[in-house]
Amino acid sequence: MAYAETPTVVSSAGDRYSISENENGGILTSLYPKSRFVEAGANSYVVDGLDVIYFGKDCDAFHKVFGKGTFGWANGGFLATFESGAEIGFPRQDLPWEHLTKCRL
């Protein structure tokens, strides 16, 4: 029995994400759990779990640790930039959602 391989993309940090979408845009979910350190001085903490990045129809992005942001693509790949200052890039890969290609870097 043959199985279809689930399409994925790989971040510049080497993490592989599965590709899905909903009525609001695109979603990338890490295949494996990640640990994200949240710097807050004496109250710093770690968030563990699957990494999920939302890409909205209005070129907006959201990540549960990094918060709100924006995203765009160019010939060199696509990038989500968050208000927290964090960035998650996907170099040398096409944006996986045709209906979101209006979002340019």
Query: Residue 105 falls within a domain, yes or no?
Result: no
In a domain, 2, yes or no: no
86 occurs within a structural domain: yes
Return all residues near 32 (Cβ < 8 A) that are at least 6 apart: 15, 16, 50
> Which domain covers residue 58, as residue numbers?
8-36+47-94
102 within domain boundaries: no
- Number of structural domains in the chain: 1
pLDDT (tens digit, 0 to 9) for every residue of the chain, 105 residues total? 555 578 999 999 999 999 999 999 999 999 999 999 998 899 999 999 999 999 999 999 999 999 999 999 999 999 999 999 999 999 999 999 999 999 999
Residue 83 lies in a domain: yes
pLDDT at res. 78: 98
What is 10-79 written as a DSSP string? E-TTS-EEEEEEETTEEEEEESS-EEEEE--GGG-EEEEE--EEEEETTSEEEETTTEEEEEEEETTEEE
The answer to whether position 16 is within a domain reads yes
Coil/strand/helix, residue 87: strand
